[in-house]
Structure 1
Amino acid sequence: MTEEPNDTVFSSKVNIAGYTDKDGTITIKQNGKVLIDSEAKATNEVFEVSIKLNQGRNDIQIYQTTNDGYDIVVDSKYDGKSGELVNDKQTYSTVTEAINSISTKNTERKVILVKNGTYEEKVTIQSPYISLIGEDSEKTILTYDAANGTINPNTGKNYGTSGSASITVKSKAIGFTAENLTIENSFVEQGNNNEQAVALNNQADESIFINTRFIGNQDTLLADASASVPARQYYYKCYIEGDVDFIFGRAQAVFDDCDIASVNRESTTNNGYVTAADTWDKDNYGYLIMNSRLIGLDDIADSTVSLGRPWRPSSQTQPMTPAVTYVNCYMGDHITTKGWDDMGDSLAATADFSEFGSFGPGAKLSDTRKVLSVDEAAKYTLEKAFGSSAATVNGEAAFKDNWNPRSEESSINIHDLYGKFVPVTSLIIDVNEMMLTVGDKKIIISTVGPEEVTDKTVTFESKDNNVATVDESGNVEAIGVGITVITVKCGDIEVECKVTVNPKLTVINSAPMISAEDVTINVGDNFEVMNNITATDKEDGDITSTIKVIENTVDTTKAGEYKVVYKVIDSEGASTTKTITVTVQEVINDSVVVEPENTPENSGDNNTSNNTNGNNESNNDANNSNNVDNSNSLPQTGDNSAAIVVILALVVIVAGVFMFKKKK
């Protein structure tokens, strides 16, 4: 519960809120009136209701029904093959089929979910450790129409009182439980004899009934035991309706926090008796009715219903002293002042009838109503009524163990009928304070204890989602500058983590750098544009691989100056360019001067020199002209000067090739 009022309030209106620990439904009632009817709620989903209170006492009841922890399903609308798996559960259309599917030697609890519907069948349960759980106590109805005098079609004889029961739980069905359903005998009285009509005949030890409605008239609930084995039975938050002796039998039964309603028989003097116990002397306790309410229905007349009368069956040979005790019970004004009545020759004065702490208009002082002292009342507790020695068989304790159905230490108790519930006792998170920057992400890791806890579901919630958000797995994301608190919750335990979010710092990104030098090559050389080019960035490191050439004008076939432009961009978008000059030059060859050899003078020269006709000047000019021509003429065969020229040319070519390869 997350919001609930005190037990005593001075306001006419209260708010109630809470959440469920499992998927299922929530029903809330006020004084028997349904305020919220089977409203579906998921795990940890909140429910809330504002209730207008009546003056005086208000009884607020909250019921949670879950759909887990069951083995078998009974659905009156099911039309498939009996026992087939539906959603991994054996499914039947009748309660009888489901009950009969369980071995009489069963040793583990089998839970049968009975869906809303009316099941008109006579059911007998003989296998131990069976639980029946209905969807809704008023909508899941197990009923049959039979009375003491009704003919049993199987035998041709009367059913008899005990045989008229709609549901019979045999003594072998140890540990039987029922919850959230109605057990009814629909027989309508006509005012004739033999009209006792039992709804439940229960003989099982350590049996429990929770939020179960028993509907009938005379002899509604037979809380009994077999002739050889006594039985301890616990009825918790049940509704029992009838008129004459409508709670009867020899069981050691405790009725705790129950509504016991007397039907109006339209009499102004006698509208019936609540109990008719036939307790054996070797049973220390009979019926203990505690913290319950005795109410009258339909304007029943005041002072017309007795608290009980002693039943001593004539067929019984065991010595008996019928025993009934009321402790801390509300009694309506339909209860008689006398309190107890006789049953023929069986006198109330010789029975063990008493009460303690009774209140309400029917709690009247009378010489015929024994009131226990405080010391006497101390022995009327759940633990003592269900102790191992609360009854005897052949002088020995009748039961192997003490049994307390309210204690989790008992093997059969009201807390773990559908699986033991282990609560959360510790919740630890790995960080209780976070310092984040906008955009940061971090996870909160939680540890729940103990290891065997039933529900380890952990929820996370941020007080201010504008500062930081958190998802269902504990992942935190910083959204905006500020401080918030993240609440981590599991079960009833919660812890907090303080989250401080700082602004994101602006980091100045350094521009990258390109390393490249100017290049000189010769015409015809091969130019590799990425040779010896590198790029680095302070943040990113070596980013050479990302360099791009955005301009390249180099032409290696022509001498001249050209440019190459490089560009690189780092991971943050900063860029740098670098331009280098590429010089392409002509190939330079050294000139070789070859002097021609002296040519021997021929005979004509002498003749010329001896010429005496005065033409020496002309002859000299002619000779000079001949000299020039000779120097430019092709060498003759056998002339060594031609060979020398060829050799020198080859040397120049080889040198050029060598320089070209070296440049590459």
Structure 2
Amino acid sequence: MRRRSVLLAGALGGLAGVASVARGASAWPGPYITVAADGSGDVSTIQAAVDAVPAGNTGPFTVKIRPGTYHGQVVIPADKPFIVFRGQGPDPTAVVISDDRANGTPKPDGSGTWGTSGSASVTISGHDFSARNLTFANTFDEDAHPEFTGHQAVAVLTRADRIVFDNCRFLGNQDTLYLNSPDAATNSRVYLRKCYVEGDVDFVFGRATAVLDRCTVHSLDRGSATNNGYVTAASTSLSNPHGFLLAECRLTSDAPAGSVSLGRPWHPSNDPAAVAQVTIRDSVIGAHVGAAPWTDFGTWPWRDARYAEYHNRGPGAAVTADRPQLSAAEAAAYTPAAYLSGPDGWDPVR
């Protein structure tokens, strides 16, 4: 086994030095660094591991994360692509990356609040990022902070292309999973395979092209008899035919029957060119979703958005005038491969 050294950046809390990063000739693809909260790894924080990845990295650099809870924001900059997070526990619950700030949380320097994007526990701006077998969480307590005007609290914000989450969990309340792109003119793709996503208001949102494949999407009960939130709030650019696709998913909840909406169309800054595109197909929908599950967002009517279903089943599935359906011919163009392939033929589906 050969050894490779990586200079740890200054974010190691003042510790300067070199960490040895092992590279197996065939056992591991590229260099790696081990994170352990108890100090038994190369570093003890996720951000320290990210800081150790060379800028302009051109191949997979794996961050092996031993079981534990890692508190604090993590930022992966645009000049650090190909980072791989691998949870080393027996299942995704063993490794938890979390933070607890919200839109309305004051910044420590007194310069205002964090805002929705700034609330993210993990922000991913480097392309070709992937994560497997771990949990991302925002543990902000809404009830403990009624004085905050903004309770949006993001667990993960993606801003880059060709992102993969495999067997991961995303935990939060409002705005759990923010799937976005660098700007409205840029399309970024995200693939989630066999993941668990939990929240209440707009908890899968943004303008990215994203496929949730065989995922569990769980709506929390906010204690209302009639309105327990919205699963999606897509802001797909009108020029992009592909927004969110939920394929072979399970939509679950403990909320009362008919009290959760599948989505509402988000128009950031009232942008008329942000026209939500969401397709839910071949999925099991629980009774928490009502017969008219798409709803307006302020003055923006849901009927102007691009919503569709196909071959769904379960107590919350129905075919009504308020639930646009794809024909069999149309459905052939609404597949994970069609959403993700793009001009480069990207194919992460497995």
Correspondences of 1:18-417 after superposition (within 5 Å)? 71-78=32-39, 91-126=42-77, 127-136=80-89, 137-154=92-109, 156-170=111-125, 173-190=126-143, 193-227=149-183, 228-297=185-254, 300-314=255-269, 316=271, 319-388=273-342, 399=343, 401-406=344-349
Aligned equivalents of 1:216 and 1:181: distance in 2? 15
Residue type at the aligned position of 2:198: E
Distance in 1 (alpha carbons) for counterparts of 2:73 and 2:82: 20
Task: Give the length in aligned residue pairs.
Answer: 315
| Counterpart-to-counterpart distance in 2, 1:141 and 1:315 | 35
**DSSP 3-state at the match of 2:123:** strand
Within 1, Cα distance between the matches of 2:135 and 2:110? 28
Distance of 2:279 and 2:136 partners within structure 1? 25
Q: Post-superposition shift, 1:383?
A: 1.8
* 1:229 to partner: Cα distance: 2.4
Distance 1:98 1:118 in 2: 15
Q: 2:232 aligns to what SS in structure 1?
A: strand
Q: Distance in 2 between matches of 1:343 and 1:319?
A: 15
> TM-score, with normalisation over the residues of structure 1?
0.46
Quick one: which amino acid aligns to residue 300 of structure 2? S
Tell me: CA distance 1:350–1:315, structure 2 relative to 1, closer, same or farther (3 Å). closer
Deviation at 1:339, TM superposition (A): 1.4
SS in 1 for 2:118: helix
Hey, what does 1:491 align to over in structure 2? none
Post-superposition CA distance 1:601-635 (Å, at most 9, x none) = xxxxxxxxxxxxxxxxxxxxxxxxxxxxxxxxxxx
Aligned-pair CA distance for 1:152: 2.0
Aligned-pair distance for 1:154? 4.8
- CA RMSD, aligned part only? 1.5
1:259-318 CA distance string (max 9 Å, x none): 000001111000000000000011110001101000003xx20110001000011264x6
TM-score by length of 2: 0.87
Determine if contact 2:198/2:217 at 8 Å carries over to the other structure: yes
Whether the 8 Å contact between 2:295 and 2:302 is mirrored in structure 1 is yes
The amino acid across from 1:75 in the alignment is A
Structure 1 residues 532-584: Cα deviation after superposition (integer angstroms, max 9, x where no partner) = xxxxxxxxxxxxxxxxxxxxxxxxxxxxxxxxxxxxxxxxxxxxxxxxxxxxx
Instruction: For residues 184-203 of structure 1, give each alpha carbon's deviation from its aligned partner in whole angstroms, at most 9, with x where no partner exists.
Output: 00101125520000000011
Which structure is richer in relative contact order (CA contacts within 8 A, separation 6 or more)? 2
Which amino acid counterpart does residue 226 of structure 2 have in structure 1?
A: T
Partner Cα distance (1:336, 1:154) in 2: 45
Map residues 417-496 of structure 1 onto 2, 5 A cutoff: none
SS for the counterpart of 2:269 is coil
SS state at 1:345 partner: coil
Unaligned runs of 5+ in 1: 1-66, 80-85, 389-398, 407-413, 415-664
Conservation of the 8 A alpha-carbon contact between 2:263 and 2:293: yes
Give 3-state SS (helix, strand or coil) of 1:248's partner.
strand
Matched residue SS, 1:92:
coil
Report the secondary structure of 1:158's partner residue.
coil
Q: Distance in 1 between matches of 2:32 and 2:173?
A: 34
Deviations 1:359-407 (A, max 9, x none): 000002221100110001110012211232xxxxxxxxxx4x111112x
CA distance in 2, matches of 1:331, 1:193: 32
Alignment partners' CA distance in 2, 1:154 and 1:315: 30
- Inter-partner Cα distance in structure 1 for 2:252 and 2:300: 26
Q: Is the 8 A contact 2:266 2:274 kept in 1?
A: no
Shift of 1:155: 6.1
CA distance in 2, matches of 1:68, 1:302: 48
CA distance in 1 between counterparts of 2:58 and 2:109 reads 31
Q: Letter of the 2:118 partner, please give it.
A: G
SS in structure 1 at match of 2:337: helix
SS in 1 for 2:86: strand
For 1:107 and 1:155, the matched residues in 2 are separated by 39
How far apart are residue 68 of structure 1 and its match? 5.4
Q: Secondary structure at the match of 2:48?
A: helix
Partner of 2:13: none
Contact 2:268 2:274 in 1 (8 A): no
Secondary structure of the corresponding residue to residue 338 of structure 2: helix
Which has more radius of gyration? 1
For the residues of structure 2 that align with 1:167 and 1:315, how far apart are their CA atoms?
A: 26
**C-alpha separation in 1, matches of 2:159 and 2:300:** 24
The 2-side partners of 1:315 and 1:346 are apart by 9
> What amino acid is aligned across from residue 343 of structure 1 in structure 2?
F
Post-superposition shift, 1:139?
1.5
Give the Cα separation in 1 of the matches to 2:304 and 2:331.
19
